[in-house]
């Protein structure tokens, strides 16, 4: 069920007052903001400043007229005109705590919206080359992509999570050669000195070679390079799937880059671009006029040796996305893909296929630095050159890893401190939020009653500053989720849970007793406790993080 939208209802209330006060002003657009200081009320708006010039009044006079037109609206306890004409509104006690029964009624569905109802969207993320274990950058993508997908689902979108396997090109060729080299080494026919600089050297290559030799004794030296390639790619796809399962991430669809070639999709895209008149030949290569679509220079599509540059299959792949019915799509990728954005979008526009400008959306994240014992961790025992997702999950636990990967803006460099992630202290943000949930679970266990009985609690008994602040935070949750989904920004949820909800809860917990002798007051406080616990659980679920009842 969708939670009621009191903010929208209150905006309509103020809109009506603006129209009543100034019927000659025309359209009235009211946007409600929450004051940073709770003492300034529950919401504020600048509608009087918008209307003042139109109606020939001073902003404060316009504000006074709007407040007068509100009359005795039962939801509003008082209004205050601040500054040049801002109106601050303080809700009545019944309205302020009305969010509590709304949460208890909606339960695990509280916070769900309908902004994307009936629409489809594809979220592509991780999309790693199957050339090695998933590194921490892939882990950040996995956490971000999964959280973005869940946020969109909470807004009613039909989401397809897709993993695009880059199983073609030079890196895959080097993977096959790397495994072949290790096979020859096992057979006593090669040494470390025989390896090329761009071959893979992690211990996992030795594992693949040993397994290949065991399953293919007739080709123990790896003479069938194509068979070695197929085996290595399948092996590493299985490894990556295991990593993702351990991380709690599942995909609905897997798409192979190699299929774009075998199914003729790349050739078709090139034919369409040529037919659209946006290509030309020069120096034996085929070029695309990407400068026609905002790029800083034209780009080679087909090199003089007949092979395609990397962005051409990307154009074919995204044309396929659009044709599959995904008019909305978002890609979660590392910041090193920044130049890809312009080229892919230019290619899609050059096709003349009716794909809108700005398709697809991109979320580009910055790199991750892993710290332990005050020093940077740079390599993995298995991968050699980098830290893997599996390493991090084994060190810090899945919940901590998923939280840390979503707690910062995507364009911010992330420092993952393993020692902090493992600590049971208020400095550890995921512990701080999970402990808030566990604390409230303990209170409700000690009470021992049925949560359903709290729906009838007399909430008029609530009203301390801590209770007001907590109710205000709970009421913000649906807005936070809607904005986080719209902006593809899971960090807004992490920030809300930590800085707004958990912080206010811990302050309340330390200031008041819940299981008091006054039965009516006890039930009112327990209703607020249960609602807070539910919102904490819902927010953690969106991020893919557990909500423990005991810690």
3-state SS, one letter per residue, for 109-172: HCCCCCCCCCCEEEEEECCCCCCCCCEHHHHHHHHHHHHHHHHHHHCCCEEEEEEEECCCCHHH
Q: How far is 335 from 114, CA to CA, in rounded Å?
A: 31
Residue 445: phi and psi, rounded to 5, are -65, -45
pLDDT given for residue 4 in this prediction: 46
Could you read off the pLDDT of 190-215 as tens digits, one per residue?
A: 999 999 999 998 899 999 999 999 99
pLDDT given for residue 252 in this prediction: 97
Q: What single-letter DSSP state applies at residue 300?
A: E
Peptide bond into 273 cis (omega under 30): no
Q: How far is 505 from 69, CA to CA, in rounded Å?
A: 37
> Residue ranges of the domains in the chain?
6-96, 120-134+152-166+260-354, 170-246, 426-543
pLDDT given for residue 84 in this prediction: 87
Kind and range of the H or E run holding 269: helix 265-275
| C-alpha to C-alpha distances, 111 to 51, 129, 149, 190, 222, nearest whole angstrom | 33, 36, 15, 61, 56
CATH superfamily ID and name for 120-134+152-166+260-354: HUPs (3.40.50.620)
pLDDT given for residue 337 in this prediction: 85
Kind and range of the H or E run holding 468: helix 465-486
What are the strands, taking DSSP E only, across 323-400?
329-334, 361-365, 368-372, 375-377
Q: How far is 5 from 99, CA to CA, in rounded Å?
A: 10
pLDDT given for residue 3 in this prediction: 42
Q: In terms of pTM, does the model score above 0.75?
A: yes
Contacts of 337 (CB under 8 A, 6+ apart): 362, 364
pLDDT given for residue 41 in this prediction: 83
Q: How far is 138 from 135, CA to CA, in rounded Å?
A: 5
pLDDT given for residue 338 in this prediction: 85
Query: Hey, CA dihedral for 274, 279, 282, 284, is it positive or negative?
Result: negative
Query: Which of 304, 265, 284, 287 is closest to 350 using CA atoms?
Result: 287
- End-to-end CA, the chain: 31
Cβ contacts of 495-498, under 8 Å, gap ≥ 24: 495/407, 496/539, 497/433, 497/536, 497/539, 497/540, 498/407, 498/429, 498/432, 498/433
Q: How far is 213 from 209, CA to CA, in rounded Å?
A: 6
Cβ contact 292:345 at 8 Å? no
- Report the alpha-carbon angle 206-128-261, nearest 5: 100
Task: Check if CATH label 3.30.1360.70 holds for domain 6-96.
Answer: yes
pLDDT given for residue 372 in this prediction: 96
pLDDT given for residue 382 in this prediction: 66
- Do 120-134+152-166+260-354 and 426-543 share a fold? no
Determine the 3-state secondary structure of 247 from DSSP.
Answer: coil
The residues that bridge with 165 in the sheet, in sequence order, are 256
pLDDT given for residue 5 in this prediction: 66
Could you read off the pLDDT of 408-421 as tens digits, one per residue?
A: 999 999 999 999 99
Q: Residue 10: exposed, middle, or buried by beta-carbon count in 10 A (0-12, 13-18, 19+)? A: buried
Determine the 3-state secondary structure of 33 from DSSP.
Answer: strand
| C-alpha to C-alpha distances, 505 to 107, 400, 510, 530, 544, nearest whole angstrom | 19, 21, 9, 12, 21
pLDDT given for residue 381 in this prediction: 64
pLDDT given for residue 72 in this prediction: 73
pLDDT given for residue 101 in this prediction: 96
Cβ contact 410:489 at 8 Å? yes
Which residues in the chain land under pLDDT 70? Answer: 1-5, 380-383
pLDDT given for residue 212 in this prediction: 98
pLDDT given for residue 423 in this prediction: 97
Query: Which of 549, 477, 469, 437 is closest to 109 using CA atoms?
Result: 477
CATH of domain 426-543: 1.10.730.10
> What is the chain's alpha carbon radius of gyration, rounded to the nearest angstrom?
29
Could you read off the pLDDT of 449-488 as tens digits, one per residue?
A: 998 889 999 999 999 999 999 999 999 999 999 999 999 9
Strand-strand pairing, 368-372 and 375-377: antiparallel
Cβ contact 144:137 at 8 Å? no
């Amino acid at each position: 069920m969708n939670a009621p939208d009191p903010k929208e209802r209150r905006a309509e209330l103020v809109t009506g007052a603006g129209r009543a006060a100034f019927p000659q002003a025309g359209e009235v657009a009211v946007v409600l903001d929450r004051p940073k200081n709770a003492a300034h009320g529950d919401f504020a708006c600048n509608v009087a400043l918008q209307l003042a010039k139109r109606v020939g009044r001073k902003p404060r006079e316009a504000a006074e007229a709007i407040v007068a037109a509100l009359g005795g609206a039962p939801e509003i306890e008082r209004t205050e005109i601040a500054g040049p004409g801002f109106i601050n509104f303080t809700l009545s006690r019944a309205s302020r705590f009305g969010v509590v029964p709304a949460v208890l009624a909606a339960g695990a569905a509280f916070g769900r919206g309908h902004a994307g109802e009936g629409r489809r969207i594809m979220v592509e993320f991780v999309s790693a080359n199957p050339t090695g274990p998933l590194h921490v950058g892939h882990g950040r993508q996995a956490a971000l992509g999964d959280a973005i997908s869940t946020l969109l689902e909470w807004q009613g979108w039909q989401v397809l999570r897709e993993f695009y396997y880059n199983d073609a090109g030079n890196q895959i060729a080097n993977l096959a050669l790397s495994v072949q080299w290790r096979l020859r080494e096992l057979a006593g026919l090669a040494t470390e000195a025989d390896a090329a600089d761009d071959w893979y050297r992690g211990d996992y290559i030795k594992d693949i070679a040993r397994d290949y030799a065991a399953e293919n004794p007739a080709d123990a030296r790896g003479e069938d390079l194509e068979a070695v390639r197929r085996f290595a790619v399948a092996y590493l796809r299985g490894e990556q799937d295991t990593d993702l399962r351990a991380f709690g991430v599942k995909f609905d669809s897997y798409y192979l880059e190699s299929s774009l070639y075998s199914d003729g999709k790349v050739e078709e895209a090139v034919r369409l671009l040529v037919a659209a008149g946006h290509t030309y030949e020069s120096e034996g290569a085929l070029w695309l006029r990407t400068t026609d679509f905002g790029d800083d220079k034209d780009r080679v599509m087909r090199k003089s040796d007949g092979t395609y540059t990397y962005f051409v299959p990307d154009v074919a792949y995204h044309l396929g996305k659009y044709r599959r019915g995904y008019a909305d799509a978002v890609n979660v990728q590392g910041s090193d893909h920044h130049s890809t954005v312009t080229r892919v979008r230019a290619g899609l526009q050059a096709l003349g296929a009716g794909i809108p400008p700005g398709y697809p959306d991109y979320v580009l994240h910055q790199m991750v630095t892993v710290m332990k014992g005050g020093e940077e961790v740079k390599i993995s025992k298995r991968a050699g050159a980098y830290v893997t997702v599996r390493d991090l999950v084994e060190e810090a636990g899945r919940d901590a890893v998923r939280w840390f990967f979503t707690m910062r803006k995507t364009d911010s460099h992330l420092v993952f401190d393993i020692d902090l992630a493992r600590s049971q202290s208020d400095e550890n943000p995921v512990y701080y939020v999970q402990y808030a949930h566990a604390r409230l679970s303990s209170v409700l266990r000690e009470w021992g009653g049925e949560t359903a009985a709290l729906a009838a609690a007399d909430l008029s008994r609530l009203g301390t500053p801590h209770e007001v602040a907590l109710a205000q935070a709970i009421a913000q949750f649906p807005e936070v989720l809607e904005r986080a989904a719209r902006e593809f920004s899971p960090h807004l949820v992490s920030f809300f849970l930590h800085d707004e909800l958990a912080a206010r809860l811990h302050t309340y917990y330390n200031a008041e007793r819940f299981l008091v002798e006054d039965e009516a007051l006890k039930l009112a406080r327990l209703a607020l406790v249960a609602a807070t616990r539910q919102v904490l659980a819902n927010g953690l679920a969106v991020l893919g993080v557990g909500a423990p009842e005991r810690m």
